[in-house]
Chain A
Amino acid sequence: MVTLTVGQRLKTFTVKPFRWLLNAMTLVIGNPIISREMKVRMRFARAFWLQGAYLLFLISIVSLAYQFIVALQPLRHPADLQQRLQGFYYTLLYSLVAIVVLIAPALTASALSFERERRTLDLLLTTPLRPMQILVGKLLASYAFLLLLLVLSMPIVTVCIIMGGATVADLLATFGMVAFSTLHLCAFALYCSACNRSSGAATFWAYLGVAGMLMLTFPLTISEIALGVGGAIGGAIGGPMGMVSPQVVVPLASLHPFAAPVIKAMPTELFGVKIPCWLFCGAFSLLLTRFWLTAAAARLPAIYRGNPVGSIRRQALLLSVLAVLSFDAFLGTMPVMVGPPAPPAGARHDLTLGFLMAVGFDAAFIAFFVPWIATFGEHEGRPPANDGWFRPLRMFQPSASGALPFTLSWFAITCATGIALSVWRLKTQPFWTELLIGIGYSASVLTFFWSMGRFWSASVRQLTLARWLTLGTTVLLLVLPGFSKWSLVYPFVKLVDTFPPADALKDFTQQVSVHGSVVGVLTLLLFLLSHTLRGARIRR
């Protein structure tokens, strides 16, 4: 047995984190890409024209907003002015956020693909720069330009302070949150740039992805905006809306840049600790940014040692668990369902129903990543690597045999975290049998999608094609049957449609027994078929 000396132990605890910090610092300090990109970007007249156009646009928005919201209509009540100034403030800031969100993906979406098109990428990749240095350099150079645009708009936005619609702190917090929430969007666009050969395709996918991400957090954001705006306005006029607590109940909403003007200064409460929302937004956005950068690093066309796939999967797990845990803020606002002597059955039914819906949503979310996890095939000269079908120890390795263990673990960990948190917070037990049936069914659906990934991987040689075919069939089976009986989500649809909740749970378990059997048989069939196809190909 190796015994560590005191010095070695100290080194483990002090030098290693320090080394990590040093590595992180070298990504930024002395990164030649940042200085070159910024120099080129700011050297020619084009950059100044762009900044000029941006400012002109903002000035015209300010003028129009002032005319239509503040100046044109006569005042009826002193509180009316306050409300109008708030309206003016929101109009201005939402216009600003809209422009920033529109510009952000375009700035980084062509960062790497343009290097490919210009044939300079090879020269860059043969230097000793690490993949992360290249990517962070590219990201920060573009992001700095975005920050410059935000800073440039500050004098215009201060109109709101002069007129009394907002304070300096309000504006700074909003700008900070907008900056944080666009960082991960820029990182995603950079990932698109690493995946696509042409800048056109990269920009298209970047905008599509950003739209998708904004849609995903939109329901959370709109509820927060409703609460926030309602609370603020209600508070201003002293009406009943002012009773609404100005607290962010779904911190994930802060990742949506459009939420920033409303929730920037509000706190959120996680595990009894009040933290400012911008802090959560910043931390989560940085983690998301790191995730997208790691994913982009895996797509750089050069030989690099290391295991980016493992890192991506570990980060995905961490992000998912953190996202689930952030719902503590929401659970904290709910009344504890403890009734004398035990919680009423109705509450347990409602809770189980809520859990089942959350489990279904979790599985559907993971299902859209399965085409990237389950497929294997030839890619950029790398041969397909099928090393079996189920090896749990390989779930953090780029191997086909680790795909199913990782998918199921991801699902199980997120489910377990969410359920444990809710049960602990609400002090109420759900109906475990129904819940476990729902979890089992969702896991079997994920296994079915995994087997479909293997089937397409065995049928076509190219990895990209296999991925698209898997994604296509996943969407087809989840969405296209129009939530009819043929849809895999039908048991969950029944859950929502049926009332009362006790009957809904009964119907759900019945539907799951039918759908679950079909899914099981189909999974087995697809698995066997893919096995036969692969065998036939090897013989050929």
Chain B
Amino acid sequence: MLEVKGLRKEFGQLAAVKDLRFILAPGDIFGYIGPNGAGKTTTLRMLATLLEPTAGTAVINGVDIVKQPEAARPLIGFMPDFFGLYEGITVWEYLAFFSEAYGISRRERRQVIENVLELTDLTVKRDAYVETLSRGMQQRLCLAKTLLHDPLLLLLDEPASGLDPRARAELKELLKEIGAMGKIVIVSSHILPELSDFCNKIGIIEKGDLLLWGDVDDILRQLQPSRLLSIRCLDGAERLAQWLSRQPEVASVQIANSKVEAQFIGDDESQAQLLRRLITEGFKVATFSETTMDLEDVFLRVTKGEVA
């Protein structure tokens, strides 16, 4: 369990992060969204015990990160947005170095390294020098390093930045797998499509303020009280629009490119009844679909485009 309690960071007059509060349970994958300069990296660096908060704290499984940073570190795996790799050593030596630093015993070390190499699909590269790896592989190696000590909380700062589409897709699959392992994962990003697939919780930060956080579905429901139905009939949009505007569950209607878009206030049951009534009325319905909001729409609706 991770509980963030009023985390705040000030740099001089500037409040980079203002009184953050949220709770995450094991298995949660938290998409931390915000424009550049919103305070995402500052938050992650505070949670990673690299930056002392001006006020507040966070508690991981009962361990306070400010009061007991040494005890908190073994519970945390941090992958920064920009990171370097030690040159002149092989992938295996790199992981062996960090496993030693994390206090993994010599007996377990070999097995642990083999496991993370397999998970990150780097087994074939175990004897390659780290500087010879591609950007995507280096990203996976850093993730492997982050997973070595089996941390409860994973902090991934912009993990997909600078990756090509294939490497991005691979990373997405890997993160899904890690999420399924029951860890708390916080992934910060400003590229929203990459988060939408695997995050079950999101938080939107702007100018240091956490504007909203919670379950992705709950947030979508909260932000989209009405459904947008898109209907195309073969007998003309005009007649359909007129009929729809007379229905009690429809708030507004508009015609766009031979389709009729209706703001529908009702649940799934009444949506199904509307479709049945359309067919009973004799409309030749070609398409009937609900347009749902995605994370990008949520982000654009909630934020104002300001930076701290």
Contacts A32-B101, A381-B52 given; does A120 touch B69 at CB 8 Å: no
Decide: B93 and A39 in contact? CB cutoff 8 A. yes
Chain B binding surface, main DSSP class: loop
Decide: B145 and A123 in contact? CB cutoff 8 A. yes
Q: Counting CB contacts under 8 A, is B62 at the interface?
A: no
Q: Counting CB contacts under 8 A, is A126 at the interface?
A: yes
Decide: B50 and A123 in contact? CB cutoff 8 A. no
Decide: B93 and A126 in contact? CB cutoff 8 A. no
Decide: A128 and B101 in contact? CB cutoff 8 A. yes
User: Could you say which residues of chain B place their CB within 8 Å of the CB of A122?
Assistant: 45, 48, 50, 78, 80, 83
Decide: B12 and A127 in contact? CB cutoff 8 A. no
Decide: B100 and A119 in contact? CB cutoff 8 A. no
Q: Counting CB contacts under 8 A, is B103 at the interface?
A: yes
User: Could you say which residues of chain B place their CB within 8 Å of the CB of A35?
Assistant: 97
User: Could you say which residues of chain B place their CB within 8 Å of the CB of A302?
Assistant: 49-50, 69
Decide: B84 and A127 in contact? CB cutoff 8 A. no
Q: Counting CB contacts under 8 A, is B70 at the interface?
A: yes
Complex: A305 Cα to B66 Cα, angstroms:
9
Complex: A130 Cα to B86 Cα, angstroms:
20
User: Could you say which residues of chain A place their CB within 8 Å of the CB of B66?
Assistant: 303
Contacts A36-B93, A119-B83, A120-B84 given; does A129 touch B49 at CB 8 Å: no
Could you list 13 A-B pairs, sorted by A, with CB under 8 Å? A30-B100, A39-B88, A39-B93, A40-B86, A118-B84, A123-B78, A128-B103, A301-B51, A302-B49, A302-B50, A304-B69, A305-B69, A383-B54
Question: Given B50, B52, B88, B98, which contacts A382 in the complex, CB threshold below 8 Å?
Answer: B52
Q: How far is the CB of A111 from chain B (nearest CB, A)?
A: 13
Which residues of A are interface residues toward B (Cβ below 8 A)?
30, 32-33, 35-36, 39-40, 43-44, 118-120, 122-130, 301-305, 378, 381-383, 461
Among B49, B66, B74, B100, chain A packs the most CB atoms within 10 A around the CB of B100
Nearest A-chain residue to B13, judged by Cβ: A461
User: Could you say which residues of chain A place their CB within 8 Å of the CB of B89?
Assistant: 36, 39-40
Q: 1/0 per residue B139-151: CB within 8 Å of A? A: 0001001000000
Question: Given A119, A305, A378, A381, which contacts B84 in the complex, CB threshold below 8 Å?
Answer: A119
Complex: A39 Cα to B87 Cα, angstroms:
11
Complex: A382 Cα to B12 Cα, angstroms:
9
Contacts A40-B86, A123-B145, A128-B103 given; does A305 touch B10 at CB 8 Å: no
User: Could you say which residues of chain B place their CB within 8 Å of the CB of A36?
Assistant: 86, 89, 93, 97
Complex: A336 Cα to B134 Cα, angstroms:
77
Decide: A303 and B84 in contact? CB cutoff 8 A. no
Decide: A303 and B86 in contact? CB cutoff 8 A. no
Q: Counting CB contacts under 8 A, is B85 at the interface?
A: yes
Q: Counting CB contacts under 8 A, is B102 at the interface?
A: yes
Instruction: Please provide the 3 A-B residue pairs with the shortest distance between their CB atoms, ordered closest to farther.
Output: A32-B100, A118-B84, A119-B84
Decide: A128 and B73 in contact? CB cutoff 8 A. yes
User: Could you say which residues of chain A place their CB within 8 Å of the CB of B85?
Assistant: 120
Nearest B-chain residue to A46, judged by Cβ: B88
Decide: B9 and A381 in contact? CB cutoff 8 A. yes
Q: How far is the CB of B157 from chain A (nearest CB, A)?
A: 10
Chain A binding surface, main DSSP class: loop
Decide: B10 and A383 in contact? CB cutoff 8 A. yes
Decide: B83 and A127 in contact? CB cutoff 8 A. no
Complex: A378 Cα to B69 Cα, angstroms:
22
User: Could you say which residues of chain A place their CB within 8 Å of the CB of B51?
Assistant: 301, 303, 381
Q: Counting CB contacts under 8 A, is B156 at the interface?
A: no
Nearest A-chain residue to B49, judged by Cβ: A303
Decide: A381 and B83 in contact? CB cutoff 8 A. no
Complex: A331 Cα to B29 Cα, angstroms:
72
Complex: A209 Cα to B37 Cα, angstroms:
38
Q: Which of B53-75 contact A (CB under 8 A)?
A: 54, 65-70, 73-74
Nearest A-chain residue to B83, judged by Cβ: A119
User: Could you say which residues of chain A place their CB within 8 Å of the CB of B76?
Assistant: 126
Complex: A378 Cα to B93 Cα, angstroms:
40
Complex: A99 Cα to B88 Cα, angstroms:
27
Q: How far is the CB of A539 from chain B (nearest CB, A)?
A: 15
Decide: A126 and B73 in contact? CB cutoff 8 A. yes
Complex: A127 Cα to B49 Cα, angstroms:
10
User: Could you say which residues of chain A place their CB within 8 Å of the CB of B103?
Assistant: 128
Nearest A-chain residue to B145, judged by Cβ: A123
Among A33, A124, A302, A303, chain B packs the most CB atoms within 10 A around the CB of A303
Nearest A-chain residue to B98, judged by Cβ: A127
Nearest B-chain residue to A41, judged by Cβ: B88
Nearest B-chain residue to A127, judged by Cβ: B101
User: Could you say which residues of chain B place their CB within 8 Å of the CB of A32?
Assistant: 97, 100-101
Q: How far is the CB of A348 from chain B (nearest CB, A)?
A: 56
Decide: B80 and A119 in contact? CB cutoff 8 A. yes
Decide: B88 and A44 in contact? CB cutoff 8 A. yes
With A39-B88, A39-B93, A123-B142 known, 12 other A-B pairs at CB within 8 A are A30-B100, A40-B86, A40-B89, A126-B73, A126-B76, A128-B102, A301-B50, A302-B69, A303-B51, A303-B65, A381-B10, A383-B54
Q: How far is the CB of A134 from chain B (nearest CB, A)?
A: 9
User: Could you say which residues of chain A place their CB within 8 Å of the CB of B73?
Assistant: 126-128
Contacts A127-B102, A303-B65 given; does A43 touch B88 at CB 8 Å: yes
Nearest B-chain residue to A133, judged by Cβ: B101
User: Could you say which residues of chain B place their CB within 8 Å of the CB of A43?
Assistant: 88
Q: How far is the CB of A512 from chain B (nearest CB, A)?
A: 43
User: Could you say which residues of chain B place their CB within 8 Å of the CB of A123?
Assistant: 78, 80, 83, 98, 142, 145
